[in-house]
A and B are shown apart, each in its own frame.
Chain A
């Protein structure tokens, strides 16, 4: 067997690094695997409730609801770019600069999220277990799904801040940054499903 082929075969036979990634990264992938199942099941539940309920509410007007959700999407997608630029930056100064931009943009996302919830609760009378459309499951599923995502964004910001602080004082490596970026991209990944299924399929006056 040629040497190159033998090396390739050996790589598939397990050993210390069967996936050829660090243990930290493998740990994060395993976490993402389990969390993806959690969100997957919640999205299936949401879709089930939505399809099986005849008068499912369509409360989201273009302004402010959809507009705010679109800006939130822009913030999260841009976060994905800035965290990737931070991980790939040639020097520590540029890395920290991009990490701070990511944190700032994540905070904007959270502020908009808070405003959106406040608007729905006060102006649209959307509560956890009741609403003016008479479909209590709408509020329960909306707040559970978006709330769990918000919790992930808050955890991500804390994680990112700790890694930035540690990287600045030399206690975190580029590998730690990559693992943190992996988590942050997962938060983006979940949002690209929440945005259309929760917001865009419930726009006011369509359907």
Chain B
């Protein structure tokens, strides 16, 4: 099985650092899109770590497919609870 080379590991590390710096810059820019942008960057960072650092890119596809279940559960939870949290905010019940 092929594995990531040291050069790939180094490039992934640099990309992760660059994305972290981008997150810092975004968080100090007043915008209503900050939360969405920060989560999007975190998802890209997570993708890099899972694919290259955790070597999922080099494993059999069936292992990757087995892990998709988590993604489905996360998305379902967010879809379920986010609208309710906004409803609660509108009601003003702290």
Contact = CB atoms under 8 A, between A and B. Distances in A.
Sorting the interface of chain B by its residue count into under 10, 10 to 19, 20 to 34 or 35 or more gives: 35 or more
Contacts of A54: 89, 92, 94
Nearest to A41: B77
A77 B17 contact: yes
B6 A21 contact: no
A42 to B, nearest CB: 11
Interface string A113-135: 00000000000000000000001
Contacts of B13: 77-78, 80-81
Given A54-B94, A186-B54, A196-B27, A48 B81 contact: yes
Interface in B59-94: 59-60, 62-63, 66-67, 69-70, 73-74, 77-78, 81-82, 84-86, 88-89, 92, 94
Contacts of B49: 80, 185, 188-189, 192
B85 A51 contact: yes
A19 B66 contact: yes
A203 interface: yes
Sorting the interface of chain A by its residue count into under 10, 10 to 19, 20 to 34 or 35 or more gives: 35 or more
A16 to B, nearest CB: 14
Interface of A: 11-12, 18-21, 29, 33, 36-37, 40-41, 44, 47-49, 51-55, 62, 66, 70, 73-74, 77-78, 80-81, 84-85, 88, 135, 182, 185-186, 188-189, 192-193, 195-197, 200-201, 203, 206-207
Interface of B: 1, 3-6, 9-10, 12-13, 16-17, 20, 23-24, 26-28, 30, 34-35, 38-39, 41-42, 45-46, 49-50, 53-55, 59-60, 62-63, 66-67, 69-70, 73-74, 77-78, 81-82, 84-86, 88-89, 92, 94
23 contacts: A18-B62, A19-B66, A47-B81, A51-B82, A51-B86, A54-B92, A70-B20, A74-B17, A74-B20, A80-B49, A81-B13, A88-B5, A88-B9, A135-B94, A186-B54, A189-B49, A189-B50, A192-B16, A193-B46, A200-B23, A201-B38, A206-B27, A207-B34
